[in-house]
Amino acid sequence: MEQQYITHEVKSFREFQDIILGIPTEQFILYRGQALDKTLLPKIARYNVPDVEETEREMLEDFKRRSLHLIDYHPGNSWDWLALAQHHGMATRLLDWTENPLIALWFSMSTRITENNTDYSVVWAFNVPKDDIVLSTEDKDPFKGRTVKVFKPNHITKRISAQFGWFTIHKSERGERFVPFEMHPDYSSRIFKIKIDPSCFKECKIRLHNFGINSSSMYPDIDGLAKHVEWLFLEKEL
């Protein structure tokens, strides 16, 4: 498949900001930060299973049964159940996105220590077609359909709310194979990638902290607070 998407490289927070500010305001853009420059495939695509849809359905039903005593909020439909499972690390056909480019930038660097970095992190941007946004998830089967859809989950966790989370839900061809999103003929022209030079990680993290984006705000719980305090006292001045 021929690559159609554009790639930018930035070496400062201002260069990243300038690219974002250059996007027409009428476009609805979702962003995804990745610590490594990997293809856009959902986690379930990494596994070689004979029938992806059947396996996913069985996994989701088992997750529902086993999680009831572990959660305070019980999702009302399969879309939110998938989002909850994805949020807690289970392989699904979902990819996480955010409507806030600064949050995506933070996630691209959140697992990276500033020193000894040599690889670029990346932020993907997706110009969402309005027709692909699922306006109501009631009485719809997330596994059906042949095209990628976009949906905003109910705020079933504090983290999804804090991260302005959205999801793309990907479809396998003939129930067998997923096409990398950036190579999909219907979407590759709507996607671009920003590569972040590791030399500017420290500056970007400090700038983002000044805008209120850090571990404590992205993970509004005791774990997030602990990570943020550690960064403030041990990593910020590296």
Give residue-wise pLDDT tens across range 121-137: 999 999 999 999 998 87
- Is residue 72 situated within a structural domain? yes
Average pLDDT, the chain: 90
Dig out the tokens for 188 from the structure. 């590759």
Which residues form the domain of 182? 6-235
Q: Decide if 219 contacts 111 (C-beta within 8 A).
A: no
User: Residue 178: helix, strand or coil by DSSP?
Assistant: coil
- What's the confidence (pLDDT) of residue 113? 57
Confidence check: pLDDT of 37 > 80: yes
- What's the confidence (pLDDT) of residue 112? 63
* Band of pLDDT at residue 3, cut at 50, 70 and 90: low
Q: How many domains does the chain have?
A: 1
Confidence check: pLDDT of 140 > 70: yes
Q: Which residue has the higher pLDDT, 133 or 164?
A: 133
Confidence check: pLDDT of 64 > 90: yes
* Band of pLDDT at residue 153, cut at 50, 70 and 90: confident
* Band of pLDDT at residue 25, cut at 50, 70 and 90: very high
Give the tens place of pLDDT for each residue, 173-217. 655 688 899 999 899 999 999 999 999 999 999 999 999 999 999
- Is residue 1 situated within a structural domain? no
- Is residue 138 situated within a structural domain? yes
The burial class, CB within 10 Å (0-12 / 13-18 / 19+), for 95 is buried
Q: Work out the number of other CB atoms within 10 angstroms of the CB of residue 152.
A: 19
Confidence check: pLDDT of 115 > 60: no
User: Residue 230: helix, strand or coil by DSSP?
Assistant: helix
* Band of pLDDT at residue 238, cut at 50, 70 and 90: low
- Residue 89 has phi, psi (to 5 degrees) of 100, 0
- Is residue 159 situated within a structural domain? yes
Range 52-72 average pLDDT: 93
CA 16 to chain centroid, in Å, comes to 18
- What's the confidence (pLDDT) of residue 15? 98
- Is residue 132 situated within a structural domain? yes
Range 210-234 average pLDDT: 92
